[in-house]
């Protein structure tokens, strides 16, 4: 894991999602493609793997911020 990088916040996740195209303003829920993209970004940038139960908890953008922070702080 790259421990020098802090867990991404909401703004950073939105920036990552911009790589897929525009999101509707105020969209909170993640679709399956967005979730897959976020998981890919986290795994590539931080060298961690997210478990299925963690993925199931990531229904919204705020859920993703919380779960990713938990995963990254538990791997320090």
Q: Which domain holds residue 15?
A: 10-74
User: Each residue of 4-62: pLDDT tens digit?
Assistant: 778 999 999 999 999 888 888 888 999 999 999 999 999 999 999 999 999 999 999 99
∠31-34-35 over CA atoms, to 5°?
85
How many domains are there within the chain?
Answer: 1
Is residue 2 a part of any domain in this protein?
Answer: no
CATH number at residue 15: 1.10.1200
Instruction: Take residue 63 and report the two structure tokens written for it.
Output: 């859920």
């Amino acid at each position: 894991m790259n421990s020098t990088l802090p867990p991404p916040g909401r703004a950073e996740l939105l920036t990552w999602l911009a790589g897929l195209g525009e999101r509707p303003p105020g969209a909170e829920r993640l679709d399956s493609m967005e979730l897959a993209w976020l998981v890919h970004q986290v795994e590539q940038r931080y060298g961690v793997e997210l478990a299925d139960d963690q993925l199931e908890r990531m229904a919204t953008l705020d859920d993703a911020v919380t779960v990713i922070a938990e995963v990254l702080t538990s791997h320090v």
